[in-house]
């Protein structure tokens, strides 16, 4: 067997211990004589596992009782649209902060269902940092304030959420959830596609303040209504049972690492090592993001001569470093350092990067 160091932006590396456990119990999960994929979601074994996964997530993030935890489908993209359907009445407006590709997408997918008002944007500045947001930036009548906590493509991350005043704050945390402790009470809704820090794609985890479930929203099918999903324990229809199970294993893995404070310390160590390698390369490598807004999860960097890009990708792949090609929107390279990417992977990457400079500098 040969495993590579996987820097994919998502679907992304999962903890090896999680994969091994899933492999070990694939044919006979929990003494059932079947895999978890082959069991009814209404059966006792699955229901118990699902409840335990929720309890573990609540423990990790210290989610208060007045928040519901939902295990949904549709990817984060579907919820870009579904959030205003649930939280904005017809004709209402909502505030959006633009910090890169994903916040633009959130705003454009919401636009058929709510009047999108851009409260702040760093687009003019080329998405190299965070825009200033203060209470004066906000429309007090907005249905909510939406922002993206970590821009996966641009490599921009909020260390603290923007001020939201009385507005419920909605955060897309697809690419940085569970990377550090969080004060859940600052938020109305936290949601994340699972395929970075949680598990496989096809699962969305949502933490939503219960009073928001009572909003009238728009006339939509029951299946799209978060209130109904909460009342049905996220089982209005057949959930992504395999994704839910793997998410549960990942939550236990994070608890075993020492919880989110320990995971954060490791993420600081890993990202600092790579930023240092970039910043101390004498201009050979560059990251364009303001230091204060640099993501710990997704680190884009360019080579001083783009003609070397294909050589870099070819040789890094040959060295067992996978998926370093940057997103076409920003070019160059990108290393995603999610929780499951160990320090050893980053050490291998910076060693390769230094050797590449020696050969081509
Ligand atoms: N938001 C962010 C921050 C993302 O990184 C992504 C996917 N990379 C999405 C939303 C879209 O997620 P999905 O493909 O699950 O709809």
DSSP symbols for 15-54: -HHHHHHHHHTSSSSTTSSS-GGGS-TTSHHHHHHHHHHH
Is the shortest distance between the CB of 73 and ligand 1 below 6 Å? no
CA dihedral over 58, 60, 61, 62, signed as positive or negative: positive
Atom 3 of ligand 1, residue of closest alpha carbon: 174
Residue 1 has pLDDT above 80, yes or no: no
Q: What is the pLDDT of residue 277?
A: 98
Q: Look-up: residue for tokens 């641009």?
A: 154
Q: State the pLDDT confidence band at 2, using cuts at 50, 70 and 90.
A: confident
Q: Which atom of ligand 1 is nearest to the CA of 74?
A: 16
Nearest residue by C-alpha to atom 9 in ligand 1:
76
User: At the topology level of CATH, where does 16-257 sit?
Assistant: 3.40.640
83-102 mean pLDDT: 98
Contact 61/182 with Cβ under 8 angstroms? yes
State in Å: Cα 339 to ligand 1 middle: 17
Element of type H or E holding 77: helix 75-87
- Distance, in Å, from the CA atom of 193 to the CA atom of 196, rounded to the nearest integer, reads 7
**d(CA 80, ligand 1 centre) in Å:** 10
Phi-psi region of 285 (alpha: psi -120 to 50; beta: other; left: phi over 0): beta
Q: Which CATH code for domain 259-360?
A: 3.90.1150.10
30 Cβ closer than 6 Å to some ligand 1 atom: no
76 Cα–ligand 1 center, Å: 5
Active site residues: 102, 172, 196
Can you list the pairs that 162-169 forms with residues at least 24 positions away whose Cβ atoms lie under 8 Å? 162/97, 162/120, 162/133, 163/133, 163/134, 163/135, 163/138, 164/138, 165/135, 165/138, 165/140, 166/140, 167/95, 167/138, 167/140, 167/142, 167/143, 168/87, 168/143, 168/144, 168/209, 168/212, 169/144, 169/145
Residue 111 buriedness (CB in 10 A; 0-12 / 13-18 / 19+):
middle
**Contact 179 CB / ligand 1 (< 6 Å):** no
Residue 157 CB less than 6 A away from ligand 1: no
- Collapsing DSSP to helix, strand or coil, 174 comes out as coil
The per-residue pLDDT for range 206-254, each reduced to its tens digit, is 999 999 999 999 999 999 999 999 999 999 999 999 999 999 999 999 9
Give Cα separations from 33 to 26, 29, 235 (angstroms).
10, 6, 23
Separation of alpha carbons 73 and 143, rounded Å: 24
Q: How far is the CA of 8 from the centre of ligand 1 (A)?
A: 13
User: Taking the domains of the chain in order of start, what are their residue ranges?
Assistant: 16-257, 259-360
Q: What is the pLDDT of residues 286-332, one digit of tens each?
A: 999 999 999 999 999 999 999 999 999 999 999 999 999 999 999 99
Q: Is the pLDDT of residue 155 over 90?
A: yes
C-beta of 10 in contact with ligand 1 (< 6 A): yes
d(CA 253, CA 57): 11
* 152, 178, 190: residue to mutate for ligand 1 pocket, most atoms within 8 A of CB: 152
Of 300, 298, 299, 296, the C-alpha closest to 263 is 296
Per-residue pLDDT band for 361 (boundaries 50, 70, 90) equals confident
Task: Pick the residue whose CA is nearest to atom 6 on ligand 1.
Answer: 174
Ligand 1 atom closest to Cα of residue 76: 16
> DSSP state, 29?
S
Reported residue count of the chain is 361
């Amino acid at each position: 067997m040969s495993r590579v160091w996987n820097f994919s932006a998502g679907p992304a590396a999962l903890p090896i211990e999680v994969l091994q456990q899933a492999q070990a119990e694939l044919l006979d999960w929990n003494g059932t004589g079947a895999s978890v994929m082959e069991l009814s979601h209404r059966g006792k074994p699955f229901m118990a596992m699902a409840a335990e996964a929720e309890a573990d997530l609540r423990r990790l993030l210290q989610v208060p009782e007045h928040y519901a935890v939902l295990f949904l489908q549709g990817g984060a993209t579907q919820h870009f649209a579904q959030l205003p359907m649930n939280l904005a009445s017809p004709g209402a407006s909502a505030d959006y902060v633009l910090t890169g590709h994903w916040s633009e997408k959130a705003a454009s997918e919401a636009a058929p269902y709510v009047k999108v008002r851009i409260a702040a944007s760093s687009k003019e500045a080329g998405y190299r940092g965070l825009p200033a947001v203060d209470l004066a930036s906000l429309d007090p009548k907005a249905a909510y304030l939406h922002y993206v906590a970590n821009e996966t493509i641009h490599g921009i991350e909020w260390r603290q959420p923007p001020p939201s005043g009385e507005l419920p704050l909605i955060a897309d945390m697809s690419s940085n959830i569970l990377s550090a402790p969080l004060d859940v009470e600052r938020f109305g809704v936290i949601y994340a596609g699972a395929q970075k820090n949680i598990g496989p794609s096809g699962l969305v985890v949502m933490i939503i303040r219960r009073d928001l479930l009572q909003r009238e929203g728009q006339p939509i099918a029951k299946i799209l209504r978060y209130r109904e999903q909460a009342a049905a324990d996220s089982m209005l229809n057949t959930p992504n049972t395999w994704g839910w199970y793997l998410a549960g294993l990942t939550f236990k893995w994070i608890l075993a690492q020492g919880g989110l404070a320990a995971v954060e310390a490791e993420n600081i160590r890993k990202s600092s090592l790579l930023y240092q390698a970039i910043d101390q390369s004498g201009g050979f490598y560059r990251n364009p993001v303001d230091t204060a807004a640099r993501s710990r999860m997704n680190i884009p960097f360019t080579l001083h001569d783009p003609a070397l890009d294909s050589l870099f990708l070819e040789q890094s792949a040959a060295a067992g470093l996978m998926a370093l090609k940057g997103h076409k929107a920003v070019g160059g390279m990108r290393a995603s350092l999610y929780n499951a990417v160990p320090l050893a992977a980053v050490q291998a990457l910076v060693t390769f990067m230094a050797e590449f400079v020696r050969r081509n500098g």
